[in-house]
Amino acid sequence: MTVSRIEAAPFAWEFDPSRTALVCIDMQRDFVEPGGFGETLGNNVALLGAIVPTVHALLEWCRARGMLVVHTREAHRADLSDCPPAKRLRGNPRLRIGDAGPMGRILIDGEAGAAFVPGLAPVAGEIEIVKPGKGAFYATALGDILRLKGITHLLFAGVTTEVCVQTTMREANDRGYECLLVEDATESYFPEFKRATIEMIRAQGAIVGWTAPFAALCAAA
């Protein structure tokens, strides 16, 4: 076993790359690009687009070390049978899940908007999880995949920090995984929400997990 050490908050995080996976959450066009679901909710998607280069660099860093990489997409069936009305009808967006938008039907699997941002798609051998909810463990095979691969530690990146990323980290924490959020490879439409989420994750002795900037991973011993 080869153990690496990252200078993280609230204290150093140690991991074996052979038993660690990167979980890259929902880096898809509907959230990151103009015309997608995120923008229909009134958000400034440029905030999310700004992290694309760092996420790409993180993917390459993990690939170079032979680590398992998991990509998630939040997307629903065309008939919306996996999208409860409580989710679809919430709020007053310009377009709702399933409605036709500039990149096809909003958050529907197979439509252009539900695809990954260019440059961030899985490569051969990587895992793609299509999830109907916020957490990546809900109604997916993620838990079984990680168990069968012998994974014990998880790196997290993606969007949005306080919703799908935090939900999945908390799900992972409850399942016994040691988790680290890469701070500059995640983002929110609301900067104050990102800051608060990072503080919540690492409070009380890493109650949910650790956080560190990508530079700390690059300097890992």
Give me the active site residues, please. 26, 131, 164
Long-range contacts of 200-204, Cβ-Cβ distance < 8 Å, separation of 24 or more: 200/166, 201/166, 201/169, 202/9, 202/10, 203/10
Per DSSP (E only), the strands in the chain are 4-6, 13-15, 20-25, 68-74, 100-101, 104-105, 127-131, 153-159, 178-187, 210-212
Taking a C-beta distance cutoff of 8 angstroms, is the pair 18, 66 a contact? yes
Taking the C-alpha atoms of residue 29 and residue 37, their distance in angstroms, rounded to an integer, is 9
Taking a C-beta distance cutoff of 8 angstroms, is the pair 108, 98 a contact? yes
Q: Which pairing describes strands 100-101 and 210-212: parallel, antiparallel, or unpaired?
A: unpaired
Taking a C-beta distance cutoff of 8 angstroms, is the pair 112, 103 a contact? yes
Taking the C-alpha atoms of residue 74 and residue 51, their distance in angstroms, rounded to an integer, is 18
Look at residues 194, 181, 202 and name the one whose alpha carbon lies nearest to residue 47.
Answer: 194
